[in-house]
Amino acid sequence: MAALRGLGRCPPRSVSVSSLHTSSSVSAKQHYKMLVLGGGSGGIAMSARMKRMMGAENVAVVEPSEARSRMHYYQPIWTLVGAGAKTAASSGRSTASVMPSGVKWVKSKVEEINPDTNTVRTDDGTEISYEYLIVALGLQLHYERIKGLPDGFEHPKIGSNYSIQTVEKTWNALQNFKGGNAVFSFPNTPVKCAGAPQKIMYLSDAYLRKTGKRSKAKIIYNTSLPVLFGVKKYADSLWEIVKQRDLQVNLRQNLIEVRADKQEAVFENLDKPGETTVIEYEMLHVTPPMGPSLAIKGGPLADEVGWLDVDRDALQHKRYPNVFGIGYCTNLPTGQPCTTCFSFSAAQSAILNRTISKTLKKEKPDKKYDGYTSCPLVTSYNTVILAEFDYNLQPLETFPINQAKERRLMYHMKADLMPHLYWHGLLRGLWGGPGPYRKLLHLGMK
């Protein structure tokens, strides 16, 4: 139960102390040329790049290490974990093993950022000053904003691919499905990897067909959005799949309560305030509401909503030029869309590296981030629609083929190749550019 009560926080990422990294001392004052907040994909990738640019002794990363369970996870693979195609163990490695050697690992939680004094205060009282700051704090998962959660996860038949504590519960619910409603939700907030809620729906459909249970199932996808997917080219293909596989999609429906003891999910109609619908379920997959990091929200670095306020082209803070941002904590007009940790960080890290390099030389940034976003939409156990697009939701594709079609090759790239490139390329600061698939194609053509 204690683990489930922690689901209102971001998934854990780091683990026990490594001899390569020095832990923080309580109430000590520290100073670094480059301070990186967050040890997720963006934070680790940028700390590796900054190590090469500035020297390891000048770089520090603030990332908690509260227990042995603290790990760094390749979260895009959790879609396949929830469907039984990958194991949860394969998605994680110790944070010590991915932290760049020689950099200072401050094993604390960020409590307050004060850009006016160039300082950060951690939860153990440590004050850290910096010359330059990279904020890579991700976003917060808020299961507790749905009545009945997270306690409801103690019951069977309910899971969520957005947390390491609950992703295997999705697979258990799918395996134990007997017949009835299989319900999948999408919240009324920005979401990281906004394709993931429907990916598990397609995989569940495929599993139930393979096991002979599909005729006993009614598959329901309730989304708060007014569309199935934000880019029309891919949405058109997805609607065809929905029709062919007899999947029920209900738009503008937001999950507000789970009555796990009764196996009931309550949805509100966002177009008709006060109108609710109760659906009995045999399986329920929950995508939690999400929001800005509490260390940013309400502080001087935040916009009016609470996201890190950065320039969309250079990834540099709009008011504090020595502060930079990467990933889900920012207010880039990608809107925390359907984007994997890999594609988002790979595309942004090269631009941000260039921006910082120019800033150090007192020059203006000369490279622009175009909003490149990648979403491998898994539609079965061997097919993927590879959606790639820009800030304007226009396709920005890698391959000279129609990427809106389901393809086996794209599945193998998603399931097998990209995790390898993540661990051995991105996190070492060796992989970045216009996007992971575009760079992969470029390398293959040499």
Over residues 262-320, the pLDDT tens digits come to 999 999 999 999 999 999 999 999 999 999 999 999 999 999 999 999 999 999 999 99
Average pLDDT over residues 238-262: 98
Whether the predicted pLDDT of 170 surpasses 50: yes
Whether the predicted pLDDT of 1 surpasses 60: no
- Please answer whether residues 165 and 151 qualify as being in contact, where contact means their C-beta atoms are separated by less than 8 angstroms: no
- Please answer whether residues 182 and 282 qualify as being in contact, where contact means their C-beta atoms are separated by less than 8 angstroms: yes
Predicted confidence (pLDDT) per residue in 332-355, tens digit: 986 444 444 456 677 899 999 999
Q: Which residues does 108 contact at the CB level (< 8 Å), separation at least 6? A: 24, 62, 64, 122, 123, 124, 126
pTM score, whole prediction? 0.90
* Extended strands (E) in 196-313: 217-223, 248-251, 253-259, 264-269, 276-280, 283-285, 290-292
Average pLDDT over residues 245-263: 98
- Please answer whether residues 108 and 126 qualify as being in contact, where contact means their C-beta atoms are separated by less than 8 angstroms: yes
Indicate whether 392 belongs to any domain.
yes
Which of 391 and 24 is assigned the larger pLDDT? 391
Q: Based on the domain organization, do 122 and 173 belong to the same domain?
A: no
Whether the predicted pLDDT of 25 surpasses 80: no
Q: Based on the domain organization, do 119 and 211 belong to the same domain?
A: no
Query: What's the pLDDT at 262?
Result: 98
Q: Based on the domain organization, do 286 and 162 belong to the same domain?
A: yes
Average pLDDT over residues 98-104: 96
Residue 288: HSE in the Cβ half-sphere, 13 Å Cα cutoff: 28
Strands 276-280 and 264-269: antiparallel
CATH code for the domain of 200: 3.50.50.60
Most confident region among 183-197, 207-221, 366-380 by mean pLDDT:
207-221
Average pLDDT over residues 408-432: 90
Query: What's the pLDDT at 334?
Result: 67
Range of the domain at 327: 30-138+293-442
Indicate whether 117 belongs to any domain.
yes
Indicate whether 145 belongs to any domain.
no
The burial class, CB within 10 Å (0-12 / 13-18 / 19+), for 129 is: middle
Structure tokens that stand for 364 in this block: 């203006």
Whether the predicted pLDDT of 12 surpasses 60: no
Indicate whether 338 belongs to any domain.
yes
Q: Based on the domain organization, do 36 and 129 belong to the same domain?
A: yes
Q: Based on the domain organization, do 173 and 275 belong to the same domain?
A: yes
What is the helix (H) or strand (E) element at residue 30, kind and residue range?
strand 29-37
Query: What's the pLDDT at 194?
Result: 85
Structure tokens that stand for 123 in this block: 């939860």
Last residue of one domain, picked from the residues 251, 275, 290: 290
Q: Based on the domain organization, do 171 and 128 belong to the same domain?
A: no
- Active-site positions? 193, 375
Predicted confidence (pLDDT) per residue in 424-435, tens digit: 999 998 866 555
Number of domains in the chain: 2
